[in-house]
Amino acid sequence: MEPTKLKKVIQGIPKAELHLHIEGSFEPELMFEIANRNNISLAYDSVESLKKAYKFNNLQEFLDIYYIGAQVLIHERDFYDLTWAYLKKVHGQNVVHVEVFFDPQTHTDRGVPFDVVIKGIYRALEKAKSEFNMTYKLIMSYLRHLNEEGAFKTLESSMPYKDWIDGVGLDSSELGNPPSKFLNVFKASAEQGYKLAAHAGEEGPVEYIWEAINLLNVDRIDHGNRCLDDEKLVQVLIEKNMGLTLCPLSNLELKVIQKMEDHPILKMLEKGLLATIHSDDPAYFGGYMNENYYETAKALNLKEEHLKQLAINAFEASWLNSDQKKKHISYVKTYFNSLSY
C-alpha cells in the first residue's frame, strides 16, 4: 500500500492499546514543564539534549533513563497531566480502548504515596471515559528487579483501590528475574480478583514464557517475542488463545530485533497466534499506536487483511467482557468492509 493511503487506513482503524506504561508516555516537553513547577532540575539542559540521550542498546539502558524521568512526578496533578496527555494523544489516533500499566514502586519507593499516584491516573481515565467515550482497564505492575516482599507491600497498598484496578503486571529488568520469583504474590493477587499479565520473552528466554503460563497462570503475555523459538510453546499459546502484546518500535529501539523486517509478528499471525501491536513507552521509542502499525506494516509489507486481524486480535486479547469485544470487533469489520467501496 502506498504510504499516504496506508497512514489513512491505519488512522481510521478503531484500536485497542493493551501494552502501555504510563510513565513511558512522558514526553520531554511535559517532563520539563513538571520539573520546573516542582523545582526539580533535570540532568539535561533542554528538551533536545534529553531526546539525544534516548539511544539504547538494551532494556536496562532504557530503564535507567525511564526511572530518572519518572522522578519529577510528585503530586496528584502531575500523574493526572501525564495520563491525560497520553489519552488525548491516542484519542486522536482513534484508540477507543486502553489498558494502562502503572509502576507504583517507582513512586512509592521515593516517598510518593500510592494514593497520590493512583488518584491522578484514575481521574484522567475517568475523564477520557466521559469526554471520549473511551473504555479502560488499569494494571498495576510489580517491578521484577525488586523482591517479592516489595510486590506484596504494593498489593496491600492497592486494597483500598481494588475497584479501580483490573489486574497486575510484571515489568522492569527481565534477565535474571524470572516469573517464578513472583509466584506467591501473583497467587495472592489472583485471590484478590485481579487479572494477571507478565512481560516475558522480551529479552528473556522461552523458559520465562513457560513460567509465566505454568507458574503464574497469566491471562496475557506482554511481548513474548521469543515464543517462536519453541514450537511446543507456540501450540500451547494457540490452544490457550493467549494474547501476546507486541511492541515493534520498542523492540527495534531496545535491539530486541536489529531491523523492523526481522519482527516476528507476521510469522505469529500466520501461525494463528493472538498477536497484537502496541506502543510500550511511546515517548521514548518514537511512536504511538499509529506509528507502530505503520512502521510494522511498511517493513513487513502487511496487507489489509493483516491490519484487520491485528485490530481484531487486540479486542479479542483485551479484558473487556464478551459483549464489548463483539461490538468492537464488528466495528473493525465494518470499517475494513467500508474500505473496499
For binding to ligand ADE (CB under 6 A), which residues are involved? Answer: 21, 24, 59, 66, 171-172, 199, 202, 250, 280-281
| Of 223 and 328, CB closest to ligand ADE | 223
61 is catalytic: no
Options 27, 76, 166, 280; binder of Zn ion; rule CB under 5 A:
280
Binding at 105: pick from Zn ion, ligand ADE, none (beta carbon under 5-8 Å per type): none
Binding at 172: pick from ligand ADE, Zn ion, none (beta carbon under 5-8 Å per type): ligand ADE
| Of 76 and 280, CB closest to Zn ion | 280
Closest residue to ligand ADE: CB criterion: 171
| Of 21 and 328, CB closest to ligand ADE | 21
Q: How far is the CB of 317 from ligand ADE (least distance, A)?
A: 17
| Of 254 and 332, CB closest to Zn ion | 254
Distances from the Cα of 300 to the Cα of 11, 184, 314, angstroms: 18, 40, 19
Q: How far is the CB of 333 from Zn ion (least distance, A)?
A: 29
Q: How far is the CB of 83 from ligand ADE (least distance, A)?
A: 15
Catalytic residue among 27, 76, 202, 291: 202
Number of residues that bind Zn ion (CB under 5 A): 1
Q: How far is the CB of 272 from ligand ADE (least distance, A)?
A: 25
Q: How far is the CB of 256 from ligand ADE (least distance, A)?
A: 9
Q: Could you say whether residue 17 binds Zn ion (CB under 5 A)?
A: no
Contact, 201 vs 298, CB < 8 A? no
| Of 65 and 329, CB closest to ligand ADE | 65
Stretch that binds Zn ion, among 34-42, 130-138, 274-282, 330-338 (CB under 5 A): 274-282
Residues involved in catalysis: 202
Site residues (CB under 5 A) for Zn ion?
280
